[in-house]
Amino acid sequence: MTGVIHLSPADILAERPFTHPDFALVELKILRYMVDRLGLALESFPPGERVPYLIKLSEADGRPHRLAINQPEKLRQGPHLAVVGFFGQRRNSDLAALIDQLDKILVAELSQHLGLLSYCTLLLENGDFGNLVLFEDAAAQSHWSAGQTHARAVQLSPGYYHSVRIYNGELPGGFKAGQTLYLTQARYYDYQSDSPWQGVRGIK
């Protein structure tokens, strides 16, 4: 992979339209909506349930929305949560079954990552998926990223996605503070050429 290209908040790359800054505005709204749905689920979370606990919701138009809750009490009480948002633009690929299998393994392994509090997946209107992952802190995020199953999923990404947007952000004060999620950084991965391209952009 070539070196990381640093973009300003207003930079527009005509040759890589998936990096347009407007995507961050749209996907921030999606992530905030997912946080709201998760917050509602926490209000009625059954005590004593084994974790990770899966809640399968359905949007008004029938699209699935899955909540995997790993640490309900830390979600409720956490003073400041680290956020990762993932939006991949899928190829026509024969890797779908393998990616689905890895996703099931990732969810099953959540209990091994005590600082990973929840992992939510929403089918978007365009047929791709958005993921919202909440962590206790940045160290917990690093622990998750270093896991073998996660590393395997990353390894398969070039064959399954033609491009990816990953956001870092924060939920200040956690759920109990009633604050709004905000984003701090967007990372971009373009897998459409022999030499994959990576960019990063700070978000105000």
Query: What pLDDT, in 10s, does the model give residues 59-117?
Result: 999 999 999 999 999 998 888 899 999 999 999 889 989 999 999 999 999 989 989 99
Contact present, 179 and 101 (Cβ < 8 Å): no
Q: Would you call 43 exposed, middle or buried from its count of C-beta atoms within 10 A (0-12, 13-18, 19+)? A: exposed
Q: Containing H/E element for 189?
A: strand 182-190
Does position 195 have pLDDT exceeding 90, yes or no?
no
The CATH class of 5-202 is alpha beta
Least confident of 9-18, 82-91, 162-171, 172-181: 172-181
- For tokens 């990404």, name the residue: 157
Distances (CA, A) of 14 to 17, 18, 20, 190: 6, 9, 8, 13
Percent of the chain residues topping a pLDDT of 70: 99
Q: Print burial letters for 74-105: b (CB count within 10 Å at least 16), e (below 16).
A: bbeebeebbbbbbbbbbbeeeeeeebeebbee
Q: Please provide the average confidence, as pLDDT, over all residues in the chain.
A: 92
